[in-house]
Structure 1
Amino acid sequence: MNALSYFLIWAVIIFVMMRFGCGAHVMGHGHGKAKHGDANHSRQKNAEELRWIPPTKDVDPVCGKTVSTDKAKPSVHDGSVYYFCSRECRERFEAAPEQYVGPGAKTETPTPQLEDRHV
């Protein structure tokens, strides 16, 4: 019984510290309500303004097909997000991305073989 009360005391202390103390930053609560002139408030506001919104449509760099980004297969390369019409196109891109983007990229029109495979 003594061990149980010891455990409960420490559990309450840890909970209070995580909720209201320095652990509150981890949980997203902070030290208190931020005021408009507070530097912490301005950092949070700037972080909210910098959210990235994906385009509604993009061009698949492998086959040249226009894809809807909400249903496309995304991949990130060199800090940019690329969208693909199929898993096969994404895998081809991830195997050799320098062939499709950058200075040595191929600029060819879509081939019928690729278009037939994506239908």
Structure 2
Amino acid sequence: MNELVYFMLWAGIIFLMMRFGCGAHVMGHGRSKAKHGEGAPEEQTIENLRWTPPTDDVDPVCGKSVSTETAKPSVHDGHVYYFCSRDCRERFEAAPAQYLTGDEARRLSAQPENEHA
């Protein structure tokens, strides 16, 4: 009988910890700041965020119009650039400031190498 009472006591303690304490997120009772219907609007949830690439873009190295489905992409400074060939992509990655125009080139030259965006 003592074993049963001991078991029930520990089961109760574990249940309370899972319900209200450190395991609340496992049981779906997390204490998030924004509850359903409060805070951020429903359309701004992470599940609804999706980036879709444009259908066509211009290769910054050779100036050709490329389809983004077949292009060779490269990410530089948080932007995706599309290239017609691997050769154009490698040229861009070697010296991106040479192929960027206007504000993009000035922003790259003004940013110190050890500073992260």
Aligned partner of 1:37 in structure 2 is: 37
The secondary structure found in structure 1 opposite 2:63 is coil
Cα 1:87–1:46 change in 2 (3 A) is same
Structure whose alpha-carbon radius of gyration is higher: 2
| Bigger RCO (CA 8 Å, 6+ sep) | 1
TM-score (norm 1): 0.52
Letter in 1 for 2:50: R
Aligned partner of 1:66 in structure 2 is: 65
Alpha-carbon RMSD across the aligned residues, in angstroms, is 3.6
How much identity, in percent, do the aligned residues show? 64
Equivalents in 2 of 1:44, 1:31: separation in Å?
A: 22
The alignment covers a number of residue pairs equal to: 82
Q: List alignment gaps of at least 5 residues for structure 2.
A: 1-17, 30-34, 106-117
Q: List alignment gaps of at least 5 residues for structure 1.
A: 1-16, 25-29, 106-119
Letter in 2 for 1:37: G
Considering fraction of residues, name the structure with more helix: 1
**Does the CA contact (< 8 Å) of 1:93 and 1:100 recur in 2?**
yes
Measure how far apart 1:81 and its partner are.
0.6
